[in-house]
A and B are shown apart, each in its own frame.
Chain A
Amino acid sequence: MNWHAWIPLFVVVSSLLPGLIIFGLPEERVGWRTLLNLTGAVIKLLLVSWMIWGVYQGDHFETRLALLPDLDLVLRAGPLSLFFVALSTILWLVTTVYAIGYLEGSPNRSRFFGFFSLCVTATVGVALAGNLITFLLFYELLTLATYPLIVHRGTDTARRAGQTYLRYTIFGGALILLGTVWLYQLTGTLEFTPRGFLSQIDPQHYPALKIIFALLIAGLGVKAALFPLHGWLPQAMVAPAPVSALLHAVAVVKAGAFGIVRVIYDVFGVEFSADLGVTTPLAWIAAFTIIYGSLRALFQDDLKRRLAFSTVSQVSYIALGVAIAGPIATIGGVVHLVHQGLMKITLFFCAGNLAETLGIHKVSEMNGVGRRMPWTMAAFTIGALGMIGAPPVAGFISKWYLGVGALEAGQDWVLLVLMGSSLLNCAYFLPILYSAWFKPTPKSWPEEHHFGRQETAWALLLPPLITALMALAAGLLTGLPFSPLEWAKIIAEREFYQP
Chain B
Amino acid sequence: MGDLLTDAHWGVLLILLPLFGGLCSFLWPSAVKFIGLATVSAVALSVVGLGDQLLATGVYHHAVGGWGAPLGIDLYADGLSLFMLMVTALVGLGVSIYALDYFDQDEARRFWPLWLLLLGGLNALFLSADIFNLYVTLEIVGLAGVGLASLSGGGAALDGAMRYLMATLLGSLCYLLGVALLYHSAGTVDIPLLAERLESTPPVWAALGLICAGLALKTALFPLHFWLPKAHASASAPVSALLSALVVKASFYIFLRLWLEIFSVRTEGVDDLLGALGMAAIIWGSLQALQQTRLKLMIAYSTVSQVGYLFLVFPLAAIGTFSAWSAVAYLVLSHALAKSAMFLVAGNLMHFGGHDRIADLDRAVQRLPITVGAFALAGVSIMGLPPSGGFIGKWLLLNEALNQGRWDLVFVMMIGGVLAAAYIFKVLGFAFTQAPVTHEPKGVPAVMEWSALLLAVAAIVVGFLASPLMLILGIGETVELMGAGQ
Q: List the interface of chain A (C-beta within 8 A of B).
A: 23, 65-69, 107-108, 111, 133, 136-137, 140-141, 143-144, 147-148, 151-152, 154-156, 158-159, 162-163, 166-167, 170-171, 173-174, 177-178, 181-182, 184-185
* Contact between B418 and A144, CB atoms less than 8 A apart: no
Check if A154 sits within 8 Å of B363, measured CB to CB: yes
The 10 A-B pairs of least Cβ separation, nearest first, read A137-B386, A170-B421, A185-B402, A159-B429, A181-B398, A154-B432, A151-B432, A140-B385, A68-B466, A174-B414
Residues from chain A with a CB closer than 8 A to the CB of B464 are: 65, 67
Q: Which residue of B lies closest to A160 (CB)?
A: B429
A158, B432: Cβ atoms closer than 8 Å: yes
A–B Cβ pairs within 8 angstroms, 12 of them:
A23-B369, A68-B395, A107-B366, A111-B365, A111-B366, A151-B432, A159-B432, A163-B426, A166-B421, A174-B414, A181-B402, A185-B403
Give the chain B neighbours of A69 by CB distance below 8 A: 466-467, 470
Chain B proximity of A254: nearest CB distance (Å): 20
Query: Which residues on B are within 8 Å of A, measured CB to CB?
Result: 363, 365-366, 369, 373, 376, 380, 383, 385-387, 392, 395-396, 398-399, 402-403, 410, 414, 417-418, 421-422, 425-426, 428-430, 432-434, 464, 466-467, 470
Measured between alpha carbons, how far is A152 from B430 in the docked complex, in Å? 12
Would you call A166 and B398 a contact (CB within 8 A)? Answer: no
Q: Contacting B433 at CB < 8 Å: which of A137, A156, A167, A170? A: A156
CA–CA, A143 to B380, complex, Å?
Answer: 11
A154 and B386 in contact (CB under 8 A), knowing A69-B470, A144-B380, A178-B414? no
* CB contact between B395 and one of A147, A167, A170, A181 (< 8 Å): that residue: A181
- On chain A, the residues within 8 Å of B385 by CB distance are 140, 143-144, 173
Instruction: From B366, B422, B429, give the contact of A108 (CB < 8 A).
Output: B366
- Distance, CA A397 to CA B157, complexed state (A): 70
CB distance from A113 to the nearest CB of B (A): 14
B430 proximity list for chain A (CB < 8 A): 159
Interchain nearest-CB distance for A29 vs B (Å): 15
A185 pairs with B425, CB closer than 8 A: no
Q: List chain A residues, Cβ under 8 A from B466.
A: 66-69
Whether B467 lies near A159 (C-beta < 8 A) is no
Q: With contacts A67-B466, A166-B421 known, what are 14 further pairs, Cβ within 8 A?
A: A66-B466, A66-B467, A111-B365, A133-B386, A140-B386, A148-B432, A159-B430, A159-B433, A170-B417, A170-B425, A171-B418, A178-B414, A181-B399, A185-B403
Minimal Cβ-Cβ distance residue in B for A162: B429
Q: How far is the CA of A163 from the CA of B398 in the complex (A)?
A: 27
B402 lies within 8 A of A141 (CB): no
B421 and A155 contacting across the interface, CB-CB below 8 Å: no
If A69-B466, A156-B433, A162-B429 touch, does A185 touch B414 (CB 8 Å cutoff)?
A: no
Residue on A with the closest CB to B430? A159
Contact B386 A141 (CB under 8 A): yes
Specify which chain B residues have a CB less than 8 angstroms from the CB of A66 in the assembled complex.
466-467
By a CB distance below 8 angstroms, the chain A residues around B392 are: 67-68
Asked whether A184 and B386 contact (CB < 8 A) given A144-B380, A170-B421, A174-B414, the answer is: no
Report the minimum CB–CB distance from B387 to chain A (whole Å).
5
Q: Please tell me which one of the listed residues B380, B410, B428 contacts residue A178 in the complex, with CB atoms under 8 A apart.
A: B410
Chain A residues near B363 (CB-CB < 8 A): 154
What is the CB-to-nearest-CB distance from B444 to chain A, in angstroms, rounded to a whole number?
17
Known: A178-B410, A178-B414. A166 touches B433 (CB 8 A): no
Would A174 and B417 count as touching, CB distance under 8 A? yes
Known: A69-B467, A154-B434. A174 touches B429 (CB 8 A): no
Contact partners of B429 in chain A: CB under 8 A: 151, 159, 162-163
In the bound complex, CA of A420 to CA of B426 (Å) = 42
Cβ contact of A174, chosen from B369, B418, B426, B433, cutoff 8 A: B418
B465 CB to closest chain A CB (Å) equals 10
Residues of B contacting A162 with CB < 8 Å?
A: 425, 429, 432
Instruction: Give the interface centre of A143, A162, A170 by most chain B CB atoms within 10 Å.
Output: A170
A137 to B392, CA, bound (A): 11
Residue of A nearest to B468 (CB): A66
Smallest CB gap from A143: residue in B? B385
| Chain A nearest Cβ from B68, distance in angstroms | 37
Give the complex CA separation of A148 and B366 in angstroms. Answer: 12
Closest Cβ of chain B to A391, distance in Å, is 44
Complex contacts, A147 vs chain B, CB 8 Å: 425, 428
Residues in chain A near residue B418, CB distance under 8 A: 170-171, 174
Is the pair B425, A163 in contact by a Cβ cutoff of 8 Å? Answer: yes
> Which residues of A are found within 8 Å of B369, using beta-carbon distances?
23, 111
Asked whether B433 lies within 8 Å of A154 as measured between CB atoms, the reply is yes
Cα of A174 to Cα of B394 in the assembled complex, Å: 12
- Chain A residues with CB under 8 A of B433: 154-156, 158-159
CA distance A111 to B366 in the complex (A): 9
Cα separation A141 to B460 with both chains bound (whole Å) = 12
Closest to B396 in A: A68
Distance A140 CA – B384 CA, assembled complex (angstroms): 11
A111–B363 CA distance with the chains assembled, in angstroms: 13
Find chain B residues with CB under 8 A from A173 CB: 385
A24 to chain B, nearest CB (A): 9
What separation, in Å, do the CA atoms of A163 and B434 have in the docked complex?
A: 16
Smallest CB separation, B282 vs chain A (Å): 14
User: How many angstroms from the CA of A252 to the CA of B373 in the assembled complex?
Assistant: 22
- The chain B residue sitting closest to A139, CB to CB, is B386
A143→B396 CA distance, assembly (Å): 22
Residues of A within 8 A of B373 (CB): 23
Q: How far is the CA of A47 from the CA of B270 in the complex (A)?
A: 58
CB distance from B143 to the nearest CB of A (A): 40
Residues on B with beta carbons closer than 8 Å to the beta carbon of A133 = 386
Contact A136 B386 (CB under 8 A): yes
Nearest A residue to B463, CB-CB = A67
Kindly provide the distance from the CB of B49 to the nearest chain A CB, expressed in whole angstroms.
27
Min CB distance A484 to B, Å, is 31
Q: B148 CB to closest chain A CB, in angstroms?
A: 34
Of listed A107, A133, A136, A166, residue having the most chain B CB within 10 A: A166
The residue in chain B whose Cβ has the minimal distance to the Cβ of A165 is: B425
Bound together, the chains give a CA A140 to CA B390 distance in angstroms of 14
Q: Looking across the interface, which residue of chain B has its beta carbon closest to that of A134?
A: B386
Bound-complex Cα distance A133 to B466 (A): 15
Are B470's CB and A177's CB within 8 A?
no
Which A residues are in CB contact (< 8 Å) with B426?
Answer: 163
B434 surroundings in chain A (CB, below 8 A): 154
B387 neighbours in A (Cβ, 8 Å): 137, 141
* B434, closest chain A residue (CB): A154
Min CB distance B473 to A, Å, is 11
Give the distance to chain A from B457, nearest Cβ to Cβ, in Å: 11
Closest to B403 in A: A185
With A144-B385, A156-B433 already in contact, the answer to whether A184 and B380 are too (CB < 8 A) is no
Nearest CB of chain A from residue B79's CB, rounded to whole Å = 15
Give the residues in chain A near B396, CB-CB below 8 Å: 68
User: Please, how many angstroms separate the alpha-carbon atoms of A184 and B466 in the complex?
Assistant: 18
**Residues of B contacting A68 in the complex (Cβ-Cβ under 8 angstroms):** 392, 395-396, 466-467
CB contacts (< 8 Å) of A159 on chain B: these are: 429-430, 432-433
What are the residues of chain B within 8 A of A67 when measuring CB–CB? Answer: 392, 464, 466
Which residue of A is nearest B377, CB measured? A144
Residues in B with CB closer than 8 Å to A141 are 386-387
Q: In angstroms, how far is the closest chain B Cβ from the Cβ of A142?
A: 11
Report the separation of the CA atoms of residues A344 and B363 in the bound assembly, to the nearest whole angstrom: 33
Tell me which residues across on chain A come within 8 A of B383, comparing CB atoms.
170
CA distance A141 to B410 in the complex (A): 23
Nearest chain A residue, comparing its CB with the CB of B363: A154
How many angstroms from the CA of A215 to the CA of B450 in the assembled complex?
40
In chain A, what residue has the closest Cβ to B379?
A: A144
User: In whole angstroms, how far apart are the Cα atoms of A148 and B399 in the complex?
Assistant: 32
Complex Cα–Cα for A420 and B369 (A): 50
Which residues on A sit within 8 Å (CB–CB) of B422?
A: 167, 170
The distance from the CB of A12 to the nearest CB of chain B, in whole angstroms, is 12
B432 cross-chain contacts in A, Cβ below 8 A: 148, 151-152, 154, 158-159, 162
A25 → B minimal CB distance (Å) = 12
Residue among A65, A152, A167, A178 with the most chain B CB within 10 A? A178
